[in-house]
Amino acid sequence: MIATLPIHFSTIEQLAFSRGTTTRLLMALAMGGVVGLEREWRHKASGLRTNMLICMGAALFTMLSAVLAGDNSPNKGQVASNIVQGIGFLGAGLILHTGSRVLGLTSAATVWVVAAIGMACGAGLYVEAVIATAIVYCALRFIGLLESRSGWKRFPMLYEVRGSDDKTMFAAILAVLDREHLRLVILNREKLGDLERVTFTVSASSARHKNLLAKLIESDATDKVVAFRDEQED
């Protein structure tokens, strides 16, 4: 059995290491904060604090990897290489599979790339980290908006239909969905006095959502129809 000596750094070595540590950690916090603000604005589970901590943690592990390995070690990336695996487990926890829907893929991918940005900051690659952050922010902020307005992007919306006669109302909903070749997937159904309320989700393009909403409103069997975006959708 080989005995291992405890790792000890002198005061001079600690000062030398911390000389550039603060700048790199603050840079990682800033880059993670930019991405986190976009996620916070969309009310996602991985918000501002989560992305800031992931980015800073990846930067710190990247710096410690070379320090702990020592000057004579050829493998200075041993600790940093495990960041990829650790973030993979964290991202997997953000993905939810409910019925025919898969949620959280974008959030998981965001966590993955934020860790990569943190590693760039930890390596002192500030320009690359800024460029990557700008690309990620634009992809999250504008690409989704472009997809929605282009008409070909399918996204889920929640429909809430209210009516006094539940049998007639359900028959009208099924008739509209049948004409659109859509399946009724009920999320919630409840009765409030004489009023029946049913909530279901439909995944379709923007134009098809508008057409479906108009047909449901035109039906005499429905008293009120509202539709809104699913907040769980990335």
131/178 same-domain check: no
CA-CA distance, 210 to 174, in Å (whole number)? 17
Torsion of CA 76, 78, 79, 83, to 10 degrees: 120
195/216 same-domain check: yes
Which range marks the domain in which residue 177 is found? Answer: 155-229
Question: 115, 150, 185: which is the final residue of a domain?
Answer: 150
120/171 same-domain check: no
- Label residue 11 by pLDDT band (50, 70, 90): low
Q: What is the pLDDT of residue 138?
A: 92
36/127 same-domain check: yes
29/46 same-domain check: yes
Q: Does 129 or 19 have the greater pLDDT score?
A: 129
pLDDT tens digit sequence for 178-227? 888 888 888 888 887 788 888 888 888 888 888 888 888 888 888 888 88
Give the dihedral sign, CA 154/203/206/36. negative
- Label residue 77 by pLDDT band (50, 70, 90): low
Neighbours of 224 (CB within 10 A): 12
Q: Indicate yes or no: pTM above 0.85.
A: no
Q: Please report whether residue 73 resides in a domain.
A: yes
Q: Please report whether residue 129 resides in a domain.
A: yes
Q: Please report whether residue 1 resides in a domain.
A: no
CA-CA distance, 4 to 93, in Å (whole number)? 36
144/33 same-domain check: yes
